[in-house]
C-alpha cells in the first residue's frame, strides 16, 4: 500500500507541475527540451555505484528543484521558474513510474523497492 501511495504522490506532483507550468504560460518547447536533463546525473555511475547514487539523488530530490522554483518566484525570473517546475515535474514523473532515490549498492536498488 505504501508503494502505491508514493506512486500516486509522484503523479500528483507531476500533474501540479504541469498545471503551474501552463498557468504561468511558460514555453512548452523548453519543457520538452529540458524534461529529461536531470537524468544526465546517471553518468555518476561511470565512476562507481556510490558516487552515482550520490549524484543521482542530489539531482532527484525535491529540495533543489523546489528551491529553484522559489528563486524564480522571488526574482520574478520566468526562465528560472520554468527550469524549477520542469525539474520538479521530472522527479514526479520518475516517482510515478517507480524510479526512486538510489542506494549505493546498485542502480536498480531504490527506496521505492524497499517500501
Instruction: Tell me the C-alpha distance between 3 and 81, whole Å.
Output: 30
List of residues 6+ apart from 30 with CB closer than 8 A: 82, 86
Q: What sign for the dihedral angle of Cα 102, 104, 106, 109?
A: negative
The end-to-end CA distance of the chain, in Å, is: 9
Residue 29 has pLDDT above 90, yes or no: yes
- pLDDT above 90 (res 76): yes
Least confident of 7-16, 17-26, 44-53, 97-106: 97-106
pTM of the model: 0.93
Amino acid at each position: 500500500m505504501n508503494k502505491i501511495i508514493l506512486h500516486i504522490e509522484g503523479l500528483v506532483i507531476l500533474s501540479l507541475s504541469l498545471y503551474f507550468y501552463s498557468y504561468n504560460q511558460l514555453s512548452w518547447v523548453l519543457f520538452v527540451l529540458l524534461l529529461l536533463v536531470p537524468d544526465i546525473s546517471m553518468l555518476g555511475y561511470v565512476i562507481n555505484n556510490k558516487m552515482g547514487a550520490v549524484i543521482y539523488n542530489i539531482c532527484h530530490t525535491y529540495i533543489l528543484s523546489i528551491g529553484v522554483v522559489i528563486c524564480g518566484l522571488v526574482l520574478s525570473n520566468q526562465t528560472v521558474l520554468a527550469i524549477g517546475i520542469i525539474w520538479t515535474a521530472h522527479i514526479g514523473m520518475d516517482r510515478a513510474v517507480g524510479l526512486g532515490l538510489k542506494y549505493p549498492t546498485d542502480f536498480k536498488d531504490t527506496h521505492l523497492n524497499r517500501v
